[in-house]
C-alpha cells in the first residue's frame, strides 16, 4: 500500500472529499459509530471547497488515485461562510494576539479502512510545512462529544486555547504552533 500525502490539484479530488464527508456526518452514522469513530460537524459545497482551495490548497491522502483522507485549509476570510463556525472565529479573535497569523484546519477525516495508520498525523505534518512560511499556527475546534477527535488532536501536539459553548454544544478551541 502506497499512500501519498499532498495537496488538492483537481476538481475530482474536491468531489472525493465531499463523498468522504457525506459518509462521516451524523445522519450517516449510528450513535455507537459516532462514539467510537468520531464524526464531522460541517458539510461543505463544492463551490466553497473550491474557493477555499484556491486561497490555500487542502491537504489530502490518496491511494491509487482516490482520496482516503483530508485536512481542509480554511483561511480566516471564510469565517463568515459557515454559520456553525462563526462563533469559533469570534473566539479565536478573543484569544489570539492581534498580529498573529493563523490558518484554520476546517475539518479532518480519514476513511474508516485507513484509520490508525498514521495518516491523521501525516496530514497535519504536511499542513504545518505548507503554511509555515505565511502563518504562525493552525487552529481548529472539536465538539466536546467527539472524544476520538479530541484525543487524536492532542496526540499530534495541539493544545487547548479555551472551551466555550455555542448553539447548545461545548467546543474545544485548539492550536498547533
Summarised one tens digit per residue, pLDDT across range 73-101 is: 999 999 999 998 999 999 999 999 888 99
The answer to pTM > 0.75 is: yes
Average pLDDT over the chain, rounded to an integer: 95
Please compute the mean of the pLDDT values over residues 96-116 and round it to a whole number: 95
Which residues, at least 6 apart from 173, have a Cβ–Cβ distance to it below 8 Å? 88, 91, 92, 95, 139, 140, 141, 160, 161, 162, 163, 164
Give the C-alpha separation, 4 to 2, whole Å: 7
CATH numbers and ranges of domains, the chain: 3-176 (3.40.630.30)
Amino acid at each position: 500500500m502506497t499512500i501519498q500525502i499532498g495537496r488538492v490539484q483537481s476538481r475530482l479530488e474536491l468531489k472525493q472529499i465531499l463523498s468522504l464527508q457525506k459518509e462521516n456526518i451524523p445522519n450517516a452514522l449510528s450513535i455507537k459509530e459516532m462514539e467510537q469513530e468520531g464524526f464531522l460537524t460541517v458539510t461543505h459545497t463544492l463551490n466553497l471547497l473550491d474557493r477555499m482551495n484556491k486561497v490555500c490548497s487542502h491537504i489530502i491522502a490518496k491511494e491509487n488515485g482516490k482520496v482516503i483522507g483530508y485536512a481542509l485549509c480554511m483561511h480566516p476570510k471564510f469565517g463568515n461562510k459557515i454559520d456553525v463556525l462563526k462563533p469559533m472565529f469570534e473566539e479565536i479573535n478573543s484569544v489570539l494576539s492581534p498580529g498573529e497569523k493563523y490558518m484554520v484546519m476546517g475539518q479532518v477525516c480519514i476513511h474508516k479502512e485507513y484509520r490508525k495508520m498514521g495518516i491523521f498525523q501525516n496530514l497535519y505534518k504536511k499542513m504545518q510545512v505548507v503554511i509555515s512560511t505565511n502563518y504562525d499556527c493552525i487552529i481548529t475546534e472539536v465538539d466536546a462529544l467527539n472524544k476520538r477527535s479530541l484525543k487524536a488532536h492532542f496526540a499530534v501536539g495541539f493544545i487547548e486555547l479555551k472551551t466555550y459553548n455555542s448553539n447548545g454544544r461545548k467546543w474545544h478551541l485548539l492550536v498547533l504552533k
